[in-house]
């Protein structure tokens, strides 16, 4: 049996941007970066004039993610730049990336713009999706359109991924070996 997928967002999950400098008290390191997704948020400026954005990353998160029994996949607006800017700073190898068919906002059914693409990428395989913008509409969509086990796992963007989350992810993966794996599970 192949390993379940772990879809990983950056902002709010690995980068607890809502706590900012306070993250440094918990081992996060501040980096000043300029990914394209940040530049795109400033259409009134020339790209070279967009200031760098502070991004807080924990140097241990890469190893902790690799220790989990999942196949890791970036599910972030950073897309391929996650491998350029984030992977080397936290000790991850280059990871596959979900490419978005649309960017930003919510669909007419209230789902996050990433939801349909995550389901399409999962292609029926069990998965966990780590994000800070998940809603009941996303959970309903997953239950209706995904045939495998799934866990949409909310992360507090003021805290980011923490030890309790790593333990919960490991425990959920263990449930997949049980005779009745959870489908559409919700945190």
Going by pLDDT thresholds of 50, 70 and 90, the confidence category of residue 178 is low
- Helix (H, G, I), strand (E, B), or coil: what is residue 29? strand
Q: How many CB atoms lie within 10 A of CB 71?
A: 15
User: What is the structure's pLDDT at 181?
Assistant: 46
Q: How many CB atoms lie within 10 A of CB 178?
A: 8
Closest CA to 114 of 127, 125, 99, 126: 99
22-31 mean pLDDT:
91
Which domains can be identified in the chain, with CATH numbers?
Answer: 5-18+61-186 (3.40.50)
Q: Distance between CA 186 and CA 101 in Å, rounded?
A: 25
Of 10-24, 73-87, 102-116, give the range with the top mean pLDDT.
73-87
Say which residue the tokens 């996303």 belong to. Answer: 138
Contact call for residues 114 and 131 (beta carbons, < 8 A): yes
- Helix (H, G, I), strand (E, B), or coil: what is residue 107? coil
121-132 mean pLDDT:
97
Token pair listed for 138: 């996303």
Token pair listed for 32: 């000043």
Radius of gyration of the chain (CA): 16
- 147-173 pLDDT, tens digit per residue, is 999 999 999 999 999 999 999 999 999
User: What is the structure's pLDDT at 184?
Assistant: 53
Contact call for residues 125 and 4 (beta carbons, < 8 A): yes
40-47 mean pLDDT:
86
Say which residue the tokens 């713009």 belong to. Answer: 113
């Amino acid at each position: 049996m192949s390993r379940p997928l772990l879809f990983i967002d950056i902002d709010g999950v690995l980068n607890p941007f809502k706590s900012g400098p306070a993250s440094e008290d918990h081992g996060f390191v501040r980096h000043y970066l300029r990914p394209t997704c940040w530049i795109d948020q400033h259409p009134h400026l020339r790209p070279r004039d967009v200031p760098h954005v502070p991004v807080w990353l924990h140097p241990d998160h890469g190893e902790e993610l690799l220790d989990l029994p999942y196949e890791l996949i970036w599910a972030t607006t950073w897309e391929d730049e996650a491998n350029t800017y984030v992977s080397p700073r936290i000790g991850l190898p280059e990871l596959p990336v979900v490419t978005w068919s649309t960017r930003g906002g919510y669909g007419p059914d209230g789902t996050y713009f990433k939801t349909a693409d995550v389901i399409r990428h999962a292609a029926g395989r069990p998965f966990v999706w780590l994000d800070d913008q998940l809603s009941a509409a996303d959970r309903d969509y997953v239950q209706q359109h995904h045939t495998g086990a799934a866990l949409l796992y909310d992360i507090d963007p003021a805290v980011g991924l923490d030890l309790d989350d790593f333990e919960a992810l490991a425990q959920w993966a263990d449930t997949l070996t049980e005779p009745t794996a959870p489908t559409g599970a919700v945190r």
